[in-house]
Chain A
């Protein structure tokens, strides 16, 4: 098909005029509810986290009587099943069928990556949960913010803490063999070694590892082992680690998902004393979180963790932004600007975003303790306003390759 320039210009102008003259009937009517789409894996292996995301966001909206920024809100939850292609289909459904105004989620990096380009193309304000580094580093999107953490963001403070305060010299890392584990261990290694420590062994185990015995038995003697795991794997590894009598010989520390509240609630006293790092803990001592955590516990009989907090914080950030734009969600650009200039007090503390849309917020070092007969992550130190670049220079950071299994190279591995 050929098209003369005049026809083309006329067509575009015509379309512009048409949209001014007759606003899209679905959007833009006052009294029409704001539609929020939640992408969460509610079935499949990631279901535990996905269900918590749904519960917490629903609770958040209920507390506000389903009204944000003076307008009614409708929540549409789509189950991604933890499968990237399903996530893609569901995202499309939310955008094109349900006409949502913004999207929260999804949980896993491979799901988030599968829909990132689509959501950018559709200019859909997205409040992300997944941790893949490059989504806010080398490939940021103007329509995306992340209010949890990059894979490594929470690992830096723990690395510094291990070297400076715990005086650890040698550490072994273990994580699942996929990007999240690679990135987290890489960040941990970088900060730990920059503070004088040595990572002497890095173990990556396949996502489906039936028996951790053979991995436990090869752990080298060190001051501590760092668990970069997520979900049930860290928990299963830790149990074997204890059964082999290793917990008496070296300390256990962990990343933001290793001993999440959702893992802790199924553990016994063997978890006591383990140090982990995260941007949240159900034990956080601020008024917002005290309300949230106790209400959540009262309703569901367990503590909220990473996943529940992620959507609750999303709700809080979104609410602040909607207030700023007076509930006008049809100007997506203004909404996104409001989200990005967030200054919201949330259950995790103050949430701000950097120019790439990644959160600048507190990171907490937590220790497993027993309170009222249940295991909790009690906060022992707060690192305020941690950015995804930690103490490193932003420009130099972005010129390096993204963290991986082999970058930065581990120079201190013991044979």
Chain B
């Protein structure tokens, strides 16, 4: 019984982390039809920002750090989109290659700046003690992380479904040409969404930091997870990213606990099935 409860909570916390990682990826893909392979690197940038900032300034608040890193990474993302991706709008393959190149550049830059050691991101002081409930012990921070993901999901939902900006983004996702024809500034929208997606990844990187630590290769570890979540959940769908994150969290956690040798098979098998039988994903608006 304890096994199921602890691993259940583990699934939830991993799902929360995955949502923070993949919601931005899904947004960008949905609107721009661009598999942004820099996404893992954006996430890693956030983690490194947190690791370095919190090492340099003792007692720095993680929420403030997340906000700061989110804005910083959003700015980097925005520049990248304006200066590079915007020029390649008609060349989707070129765009994907450029984002891949950019991810290599970022990861090598991180290595040059901060070295090859892994650097911990401290767990907030007041969340360090494990939560003890009915004899179960579970890290408090992981529970808080689930809360973060749910909050982020609600904020994004309101933004997309209840604001003018959200309506324009949804219009762009459904039919970019038609949206442009009715006067929506799709190009500017692209930049905004790219900033938003990158910013969420950066902030997510900070929040995931206490679990993951900053280390070279973090980007490459995270990117496939974002891909799986988004393909499973459905591209461009916030609900899809949300449900997909928790499904993958569940599969990954119980998979590695019950069949540790098959960790990767268990993780990728559902994705293959989904691509084969339901290419638009569980909640997708557009085909993969």
Contact = CB atoms under 8 A, between A and B. Distances in A.
B120 interface: yes
Interface in A168-222: 203-206, 208-211, 213-215, 217-218
B116 A266 contact: no
A47 B216 contact: yes
Contacts of B254: 214
A210 B117 contact: no
A48 B119 CA distance: 12
Contacts of B261: 204
A260 to B, nearest CB: 10
A211 B212 contact: yes
Contacts, number: 113
B108 A48 contact: no
Interface size class of chain B, counting residues whose CB lies under 8 Å from the partner chain: 35 or more
A218 B257 contact: yes
A268 B260 contact: no
A209 B7 CA distance: 16
A167 interface: no
A217 B130 CA distance: 13
A245 B130 contact: yes
Contact of A49 (B13, B116, B123): B116
Most buried by A among B7, B222, B256: B256
Contacts of A266: 117-120
Contacts of A355: none
A47 B114 CA distance: 11
B14 interface: yes
B215 A232 contact: yes
A263 interface: yes
A285 interface: no
Contact of B117 (A44, A214, A218, A263): A263
Given A43-B111, A46-B116, A244-B139, A214 B211 contact: no
Given A211-B212, A232-B215, A236-B212, A45 B116 contact: yes
A213 B14 contact: yes
Contacts of A209: 221, 263
A215 B116 contact: no
Interface string B173-201: 00000000000000000000000000000
Nearest to B127: A243
Nearest to A234: B118
B260 A203 contact: yes
Given A240-B211, A243-B130, A243-B139, A268 B120 contact: yes
A262 interface: yes
A246 B49 CA distance: 29
Contacts of A46: 116
B10 A213 contact: yes
Interface string A238-267: 011001110000000000000000110111
Given A47-B216, A206-B264, A239-B120, A213 B115 contact: no
B138 A244 contact: yes
A267 B14 CA distance: 24
The size class of the interface chain A forms with chain B is: 35 or more
B216 to A, nearest CB: 5
B212 A210 contact: yes
B253 A213 contact: yes
B115 A51 contact: yes
Interface string B92-111: 00000000000000001001
Contacts of A50: 116
Given A206-B263, A239-B120, A45 B211 contact: no
Interface string B255-275: 011001101100000000000
Given A47-B111, A245-B137, A232 B256 contact: no
Contacts of B17: 211
Contact of B225 (A43, A210, A240): A210
Given A45-B217, A235-B213, A243-B141, A210 B222 contact: yes
A217 B222 contact: no
Contacts of A214: 7, 10-11, 14, 252-254, 256-257
B120 A48 contact: no
A265 B117 contact: yes
Nearest to B128: A243
Contacts of A273: none
B3 interface: yes
Given A208-B221, A232-B215, A213 B130 contact: no
B116 A236 contact: no
A243 B3 CA distance: 17
Contact of B115 (A44, A47, A211, A240): A47
A204 B260 contact: yes
A140 interface: no
Contacts of A205: 256, 260, 263
A231 interface: yes
Contact of B217 (A49, A208, A211, A235): A208
A240 B210 CA distance: 9
B14 A231 contact: no
Interface in B211-265: 211-213, 215-217, 220-222, 225, 252-254, 256-257, 260-261, 263-264
Given A43-B111, A210-B221, A218-B3, A236 B118 contact: yes
Interface of B: 3, 6-7, 10-11, 13-14, 17, 108, 111, 115-120, 122-123, 128, 130, 137-139, 141-142, 211-213, 215-217, 220-222, 225, 252-254, 256-257, 260-261, 263-264
Closest 9 CB pairs of A and B: A48-B116, A232-B118, A47-B116, A243-B139, A45-B217, A232-B215, A214-B253, A245-B137, A245-B130
24 contacts: A44-B216, A45-B217, A51-B115, A208-B220, A209-B263, A210-B222, A211-B14, A211-B212, A211-B252, A211-B253, A213-B142, A214-B10, A214-B252, A214-B253, A214-B254, A214-B257, A217-B3, A217-B6, A239-B213, A243-B142, A262-B117, A263-B117, A266-B118, A266-B120
Given A213-B14, A214-B257, A217-B10, 9 more contacts: A203-B260, A205-B256, A210-B221, A213-B253, A214-B254, A240-B211, A243-B139, A245-B130, A263-B118
